[in-house]
């Protein structure tokens, strides 16, 4: 693990409340740990976005710009192959009869 360095930052109140709730719920050791993890996620996200930008730049340099129509068609193709998972279907639920109150 790398050395820690103290930081002073101002955050929105709602973010501080969320951090404190994470600590209270045991999802973070303390607010600093919660903020540190969030900064790690943001840094990783930024790296992925930079790599994507570089990939797209090379791809478009070789194949030309990706058009809105190509994006629309690709999205449509992906949606048509998607598998929707939303839990049990009504037919798969238990068919056991419920007893009415007072019935034996």
Classify residue 71: in a domain, yes or no. yes
Classify residue 76: in a domain, yes or no. yes
Classify residue 69: in a domain, yes or no. yes
Residues 55-86 pLDDT 10s = 999 999 999 999 999 999 999 999 999 998 88
Residues 43-59 pLDDT 10s = 999 999 999 999 999 99
Number of domains in the chain: 1
Helix axes 13-24, 31-63, angle to 10 degrees: 120
CA distance 31 to 22: 8
User: pTM, whole model, 2 decimals?
Assistant: 0.66
């Amino acid at each position: 693990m790398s050395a820690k360095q103290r930081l002073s930052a101002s955050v929105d109140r709602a973010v501080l409340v969320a951090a404190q709730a994470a600590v209270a719920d045991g999802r973070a050791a303390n607010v600093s740990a919660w903020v540190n993890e969030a900064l790690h996620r943001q840094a990783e996200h930024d790296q992925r976005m930079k790599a994507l930008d570089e990939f797209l730049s090379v791809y478009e340099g070789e194949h030309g710009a990706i058009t809105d129509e190509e994006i629309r068609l690709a999205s449509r193709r992906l949606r048509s192959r998607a598998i929707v998972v939303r839990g049990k279907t009504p037919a798969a639920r238990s068919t056991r009869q419920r007893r009415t109150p007072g019935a034996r």
